[in-house]
Chains A and B, each alone.
Chain A
Amino acid sequence: MPLLTLLLLTPIIGAGWILVQRGKPQRQRYAALFFSGLTLLIALYILLQFNHDSSALQFFESVVWNARMGTSYAVGVDGISLPMVLLAALLVFVAILASTAIQERAQSYYALILFLESAMIGVFIAQDWALFYVFWELTLIPLFFLIDRWGGQRRSMAALNFVLYTMGGSVFILISLLVLFDAMPDHSFSMVAMAETARTLPPSTQLFLFLGFLVGFGVKMPIFPLHGWLPLAHVEAPAPISILLSGILLKMGAYGLIRAASILPNAIAELQPLLMGLALFGLIYGGLLAWRQSDLKAMVAYSSVSHMGVVLFGISTMNIAGLTGALFQMVAHGLVAGALFLLIGLLYQRTHTRNINDYRSLIDHAPRFTLFTTIALFSAIGIPGTAGFIAEFHAIVGGFERWGWITVLLSLGVMISASYAIRTISVLFTGPSSSRMAQVADLSRGESSAAALLALLILWLGFFPASALQMMDRSIEGVVPATSVLISISEVGSK
């Protein structure tokens, strides 16, 4: 059974189903929940069938698409893409659970979200660069409409800004891909074939190609000066879309960068210090800006910049511990940012303010909200027992292996994130009780279950990370040795 194709098609079918139906928003929501839940189940089934001990691509399917262009519909998963697929399926399900506030034009809203899910999953499972690029661009269309139609006050600016930035970045990816395609003797876009060619290219060409990928993926991730779209888009997007933006869209950038790094070993060897510098600067920069935000959503948005700095730092080490940290941080941050945007969105629905100074002592009236927010914020700091700790720990170990004492700056970033996380907890939840907060209703059963799902996963990955690490291990080993072997050869050559 072509499971991955089924995974891709289920949300599309769901979108189509919703579009032909008529009915109340509630009914559309149930339909969307059903189809995204089905997708999640298929993804879980794939996880069960997945062979953890193999670094090879699994569930591989390939159909020639355009023989003259050398493109094909090729999909497959390995230990790097499977966690991302699971994360995407889970967060879309959570986002739809959290979409109770969407009452206008619900039909198109849910159809667009399901369409977006399909495109995102496509990015993670594509094994052909042309197919990857198509899915990459396809995510923009639903997102543009979702932000532009259901967003906040400055939504059109945000949507336009987002699309312009990403399109601008995509151009660089496209150029790199075309140059690479041109250099190939048997003109094909297949990832495996392209990787083989890319490794044989002269170092200067590799460097040029990698810079193209870096700009393109760097916009999405985002890497420091290219993050201009992020605060606006995250703040203006409706809460469920913020969950997806921060939880999955950012990970697409990091995922692409890992793939690019694995096919261009010489270039990454050259650029490791640059990546490390950008990562550490972005980490502290995002952290300090998050510290300065009084808007809760903007704070989480900037903290995403900071946390994706940890991912980039892990990638810059190009060793097993560092890359494991990067990948784990992608999952952990997906869960944490998803949970935080979910909870803040729910809070905003109740009070219509996102200014942190308007809140205090919420624990009196919303204990469940307090519990889940605190778990998510603790994981953001990397408190042991949460997924964030496992990620940061691996990144720090990998960092010391590769970069030595400069890794201390990562700890500085963690400290800054602790300062704003603890500040948020103390302002939101503690202090003398206030009658104004009495009107804030605690999470309903459905909302609690969505938040609890994320919180439990955060804790589960924190206490029992072994199974997740095992899933990633083989594929990361597949990325690393090729690189390090080549680095050592180039070092010998230079001597």
Chain B
Amino acid sequence: MSAELYPLEQWIWLAPLFPLIAASWIAIGYIVGWNRNEAGERETSRVTIAASLLSLLSMLVIDLKALLSGVETQVVTAHWLTSGDFQINFSFTLDRLGLVMGTMVATITLFTQRFSINYLHREAGYQRFFMLLSLFNTAMLLIVLAGNPGLLFVGWELAGISSYLLIAYNYQRQVATKNATYALVTNRLGDAGLLTAIFFSTLWAGSIEWPDLHQAAGPMGGLHLGLIGTAFLLAAFVKSAQVPFSPWITRALEGPTPSSAIFYGSVMVHAGVYLVIRLQPLLEQSAPLSILLIVVGGATALYGYLSGLVQTDVKSALIFSTLTQVGLMFIACGAGWYDLATLYLLLHASWRSWQFLHAPSYMHQMHQPTRLVAPWIHPFNRLYAAAMQRFWLDPMSLWLLVRPTQRLSRDIHIFDTNVVRPIIGTTNEINVISSLEAWEKQSCEIQSSSTGVAPGSGFFGVILQWVANLFVWIEEHLILKGGGEGLIEVIKRAGITITQVEQQLSMPRYLLLMIMATFVVIL
């Protein structure tokens, strides 16, 4: 009975939770200091592996139940936030796609983590690396299991952040941090798309649970469907590094090899494909979206193929061939072969992760020189040049997006320094006195200036200073001198005058005069 009330699949939230706990445990341990240095490596890796193993086991148990007796496909664990009619749940979609993907992610992550134990031995940042891998595990499990795009977005961002931190794993190197920033910024474009898609879905579909969204897609108008679909596809294209967003993924190879394998070779790069497959009922409604998928996928496949031909290092060659395959998956989706795409995804992810992990030792196992660039490309000089330059996608983004932004921010900065700051009265130099000498100089200036402690700067500062000067004048002349002190002065003077009168009166002649005056009054 209790099993009926609280079936096994309700525990699915444990799967992403285990790695999250592991990541927190490692982070706290590192802050407190119990797992630092080489001595802490063993504990770190054990915690990571144990968490991944547990989450894989929980996936497998639910898989087993799904095979034997079937599971409820939409599981709502809790309400996350409610505002009016709008609601986001902690819900999970446990259909075939979700379960298969979840199991695949858990398995590949576990193997990669096992591989990393030896690969990263005695590296500085060992603990950091494992923490990030655990975080990534959580992120990917959230993406593939989430029951709505809201929860998926959590995983989506977490994956982006852990990817950013892993690319900048060697943060002492400028190239690494630069590439990490590049990847993060490009990914934000996709995040914007995903957020827009969530917004439109809430607006036009009401509920954003996947099944509700799929159902709402049927009666939805072409324009609405197109907008939601395009926004979702933007997110998918960026995450899967499709043309024209491809350059970030080549820069992302800066991180350690196991992370490259898991992120860009096998798991994260497929997140976009997963999103597209998940949206199958929605995308099938609209022919233009399918065409878009085919066009972008085709362009990427060509781009990956041609650029891959001219690469001279293993990792780059692998990543371009990955791009080609992912492009083909998008074409499959566009053509309506979603099951094929799913199968393709699973096989490619498994194969590619093996290949990437293998890459560092590839050279040792090679017994003949690498194959030269394919001979058929020789007559096409321009194509060759374009492939060498990776079709100028990088300079194009620089020219179209980065430069104008830089110019705009420079103009705003000039406006800020010349117009806004003088009015508000803050300066760039505020509080940046670095030497004792400068300090002494400034203190002397303050003491010598007439305004003393309260120099006003800026438009309002000057007004305030002016008003304050007026108030100081009023205070000194009218209230202090004219009030209490003035009163005391008056009393003193009056006292002196009265004493003088008194002295005069006590003289005999005035006394006589007084007596006489009294008599006059009486009479």
Interfacial residues, chain A to chain B (CB-CB below 8 A): 157, 160-161, 164-165, 225, 227-229, 231-232, 285, 288-289, 291-294, 356-357, 360, 416, 420, 423, 426-427, 430-432, 434
Contact = CB atoms under 8 A, between A and B. Distances in A.
A289 B451 CA distance: 12
Contacts of B446: 357
B464 A157 contact: no
B484 A293 contact: no
Nearest to B434: A432
B396 interface: no
Contacts of B431: 426, 430
Given A289-B471, A292-B472, A229 B484 contact: yes
Nearest to B483: A228
Given A161-B484, A232-B484, 13 more contacts: A164-B484, A164-B487, A231-B475, A289-B468, A291-B453, A291-B454, A292-B452, A292-B454, A357-B443, A357-B447, A416-B464, A426-B431, A432-B433
Task: Give me the 3 closest cross-chain CB pairs, A-B, nearest first.
Answer: A228-B483, A161-B484, A288-B468
B488 interface: yes
B287 interface: no
Contacts of A426: 431
17 contacts: A160-B488, A164-B484, A225-B479, A228-B479, A229-B483, A231-B480, A232-B480, A285-B471, A291-B453, A291-B464, A292-B454, A360-B439, A416-B464, A432-B433, A432-B434, A432-B436, A432-B439
Nearest to A162: B484
Contacts of A360: 439, 443
A426 B430 CA distance: 12
B75 to A, nearest CB: 40
Given A289-B471, A416-B464, A426-B431, A356 B439 contact: no
B479 A227 contact: yes
Contacts of A164: 484, 487-488
Interface in B353-402: none
Interface string B474-491: 010001100111011000
Contact of A288 (B443, B467, B485): B467
A20 to B, nearest CB: 36
A292 B467 CA distance: 11
A157 B472 CA distance: 20
A288 B484 contact: no
A161 B485 contact: yes
B82 interface: no
B476 to A, nearest CB: 10
Given A288-B467, A432-B436, A161 B453 contact: no
Contacts of A356: 453
Contact of A157 (B434, B483, B488): B488
Interface string B416-449: 0000000000000001011110010001001100
B337 to A, nearest CB: 59
Contacts of B484: 161, 164-165, 228-229, 232
Choose among A157, A225, A285, A292 the residue with the greatest number of B CB atoms under 10 Å from its CB.
Answer: A292
Contacts of B443: 357, 360
A291 B480 contact: no
A277 B252 CA distance: 64
A232 B431 CA distance: 33
Nearest to B455: A423
A124 B483 CA distance: 29
Contacts of A293: 453
Contacts of B433: 431-432
